[in-house]
């Protein structure tokens, strides 16, 4: 039996998680598994309940489970709190305390959604890229970070810092993944300006020597942002630091039709992985049963694949999602004419039902 920590979080978090649990229960039935779900609160929900976005008990719970599935955090009610107390702190602290240094964000297009992308069909047909984002260092965690007020002048600073071994281990993750994919790594940096990027490039080149069969390309981040729109099919694995990956993964998500489609896996070594959609808590549509749960459902698929070593089960989820889209069901963010617009919970139910229509499922 797999034990899964479930952290619905804020905004649309609870509804997209509910839809995803339906799908996981479908997997449990089809494949004769039993999943145990242990719920806890993080983010704004935890501020309300415990007075803090992430308490130690929740971290301990995550450590004791086989995997962690998270909805979303972020609540405008707490936007004015200092950084340390904001809901987003929960996710940053969870990543750091579980040592989840590798964030995998696969952007692949469901063919049925090709017309939902803002880009032309021929530009995005068959894109299949994976952002491998460093997640526990860089400017997100660098010290010092502070505000300095001197008279009328106020300064604020963050520190972009990388250590050689931090770059090496994330580069290794990227090269290992590329080996199982299309054997190409594009490493993203700003080495024409930043010292930390120059070390980044040096370390990536060093790791590349161990992977002679992988094609390595270095690309400045500004050019990468442009190339993702111009010719996204050139990319296989995009290796990035923490902040560049945050930015480029939203862009990559949009190529696939909607930010509501991009799943993510955060992995460390000898620690349970954290699986969450790459989008935020969308407070404007929270509680309306209109959010797209597919990014979370696909995160559950990544959880089965990378976290629980259930590959056929992971593939079944993907196929069931594809089938549901083929049947014309859409949430409003990916709706187009002649399709059937359905809500968050119904999307989960349709995917679950389709699990039993997949031929090879035992």
> Which spans of this chain sit near Mg ion (rule: CB under 5 A)?
246
CB-count exposure of residue 353 (10 Å: 0-12, 13-18, 19+): middle
What is the rounded distance in angstroms from the CA atom of residue 104 to the CA atom of residue 178? 12
CB of 36 to ligand IPM, least distance (A): 26
CB of 250 to Mg ion, least distance (A): 6
126 assigned to active site: no
- Structure tokens of 75? 């609540």
Residues 280-299 that bind ligand IPM (CB under 6 A): 280
- Structure tokens of 26? 């479908």
Among 22, 40, 140, 162, which one carries the catalytic annotation?
Answer: 140
CB of 244 to Mg ion, least distance (A): 11
Strand partners, 102: 134, 267
> Binding mask 251-280 vs ligand IPM (x if CB under 6 A, - otherwise)?
---------------------------x-x
246 assigned to active site: yes
Q: Does 10 bind ligand IPM (CB under 6 A)?
A: no
Residue nearest to Mg ion (CB): 246
Determine the interface stretch with ligand IPM among 87-95, 116-124, 186-194, 224-232 (rule: CB under 6 A).
Answer: 87-95
Q: Per this entry, what is the length of the chain?
A: 362
Kindly tell me which of 86 and 350 has the beta carbon lying closer to ligand IPM. 86
Q: Does 91 bind ligand IPM (CB under 6 A)?
A: yes
66 assigned to active site: no
- Match 């070593």 to its residue by tokens: 309
User: HSE on the CB side for 322, CA within 13 Å?
Assistant: 13
Contacts of 347 (CB under 8 A, 6+ apart): 19, 292, 293, 294, 297, 324, 329, 331
Kind and range of the H or E run holding 157: strand 153-157
CB of 241 to ligand IPM, least distance (A): 12
Q: What share of the chain is helix, strand, coil (3-state, %, to 5)?
A: 50, 20, 30
The distance in angstroms from the start CA to the end CA of the chain is 18
Kindly tell me which of 236 and 246 has the beta carbon lying closer to Mg ion. 246
Residue of the chain from 41, 246, 305, 333 that contacts ligand IPM (CB under 6 A): 246
48 assigned to active site: no
Contacting positions for ligand IPM (CB under 6 A):
88, 91-92, 246, 278, 280
- Active-site positions read 140, 190, 222, 246, 250
């Amino acid at each position: 039996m797999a034990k899964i920590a479930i952290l619905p979080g804020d905004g649309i978090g609870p509804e997209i998680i509910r839809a995803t649990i339906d799908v996981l229960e479908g997997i449990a039935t089809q494949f004769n598994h039993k999943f145990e779900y242990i719920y806890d609160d993080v983010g704004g929900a935890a501020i309300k309940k415990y007075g803090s976005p992430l308490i130690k008990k929740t971290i301990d719970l995550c450590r004791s489970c086989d995997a962690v599935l998270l909805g979303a955090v972020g609540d405008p009610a707490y936007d004015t709190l200092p950084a340390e107390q904001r809901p987003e702190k929960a996710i940053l602290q969870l990543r750091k305390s579980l040592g989840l240094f590798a964030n995998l964000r696969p952007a692949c297009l469901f063919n049925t959604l090709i017309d939902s992308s803002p880009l032309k069909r021929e530009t995005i047909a068959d894109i299949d890229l994976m952002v491998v984002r460093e997640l526990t260092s860089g400017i997100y965690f660098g010290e010092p970070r502070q505000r300095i007020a001197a008279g009328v002048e106020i300064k604020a600073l963050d520190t972009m810092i990388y250590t050689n071994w931090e770059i090496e281990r994330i580069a290794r993750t990227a090269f290992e993944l590329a080996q199982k994919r299309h054997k190409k790594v594009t490493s993203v940096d700003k080495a024409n300006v930043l010292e930390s990027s120059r070390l980044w490039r040096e370390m990536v080149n060093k790791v590349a020597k161990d992977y002679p069969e992988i094609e390595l390309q270095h690309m400045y981040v500004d050019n990468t942002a442009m190339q993702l729109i111009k010719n996204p099919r050139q990319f296989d694995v995009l290796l990035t630091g923490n902040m560049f990956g945050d930015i480029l993964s939203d862009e990559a998500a949009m190529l696939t039709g909607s930010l509501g489609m991009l799943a993510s896996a955060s992995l460390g070594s000898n620690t349970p992985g954290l699986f969450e959609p790459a989008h935020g808590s969308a407070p404007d549509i929270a509680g309306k049963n209109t959010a797209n749960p597919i990014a979370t459902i696909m995160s559950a698929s990544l959880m089965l694949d990378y976290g629980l070593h259930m590959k056929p089960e992971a593939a079944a989820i993907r196929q069931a999602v594809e089938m549901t889209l083929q049947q014309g069901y859409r949430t409003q963010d990916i709706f187009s004419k002649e399709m059937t617009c359905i809500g968050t919970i119904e999307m989960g139910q349709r995917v679950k039902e389709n699990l039993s229509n997949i031929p090879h499922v035992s």
